[in-house]
Amino acid sequence: MKPDRKAAIFPGSFDPFTLGHMDVLRSALKLFDKIYIAVGYNHLKHGFLPPQTRVALIQDAVRPLIESGADIEVLSYTGLTVNLCREKNTGFIIRGLRTTTDFELESVIAQANRKMQPETVTVFIPASHSYSFISSTVVRDVIINGGDAAPFMPTNIRIEDYLNKTI
Spatial neighbors of 146 by CB under 8 A, at least 6 apart, are: none
Q: Which amino acid is present at 38?
A: A
What is the gyration radius of the CA atoms in the chain, in angstroms? 15
Can you tell me the distance from the alpha carbon of 107 to that of 124, in angstroms, rounded to the nearest whole number? 9
Instruction: Kindly list the catalytic residues.
Output: 21, 45, 98, 136
Q: Is 21 annotated as a binding residue?
A: yes
Is residue 96 a known part of a binding site? yes
Q: Is it true that the peptide bond before 16 is cis, omega within 30 degrees of 0?
A: yes
Dist CA 146 CA 134 (whole Å): 17
Is 14 marked as binding a ligand?
Answer: yes
Q: Is 134 annotated as contributing to ligand binding?
A: yes
**What is the widest separation between alpha-carbon atoms in the chain?**
50
- Is 106 marked as binding a ligand? yes
H or E segment and range at residue 17: none
Q: Is position 131 annotated in a ligand binding site?
A: yes
CB 3 within 8 A of CB 85: yes
According to the annotation, is 45 in a ligand binding site?
yes
- The answer to whether 104 is a known ligand-binding residue is no
Residues β-bridged to residue 40: 77
97 labelled binding-site residue: yes
Residues placed in the known binding site for substrate: 13, 45, 81, 95
Residues placed in the known binding site: 13-14, 21, 45, 81, 95-98, 106, 131-137
Residues placed in the known binding site for ATP: 13-14, 21, 96-98, 106, 131-137
